Amino acid sequence: MSFEKVNLRCFALDCRGVLLDFVPDVQEITKFGDPMRSFRVYFLFEKQLSPDSLDQPYVIQYRYEADDPYPNLGKRGEASTVTRWQGDAEDMILAIGFPRAKLKPQPRHSDIWGRAPDQLRELDYHLDAGEKLVQSEEIPLTDFITCMDLDHPPERYFLVGRRARNVKPGQTFGLVIE
pTM of the shown model: 0.74
Per-residue pLDDT, 66: 66
Per-residue pLDDT, 60: 82
Per-residue pLDDT, 1: 47
Cα–Cα dist 110/104, whole Å = 15
Q: Are 153 and 84 in contact (CB under 8 A)?
A: no
Cα–Cα dist 98/101, whole Å = 9
Return averaged pLDDT per consecutive 10 residues of the chain, 178 residues in all: 68 88 85 76 84 80 73 87 87 91 90 93 88 96 84 90 95 95
Strand pairing category for 39-45 and 22-28: antiparallel
- Torsion of the alpha carbons at 149, 53, 89 and 130, rounded to the nearest 10: 130
What are the sequence ranges of the domains in the chain?
Answer: 1-67, 70-178
- Torsion of the alpha carbons at 10, 21, 163 and 124, rounded to the nearest 10: 50
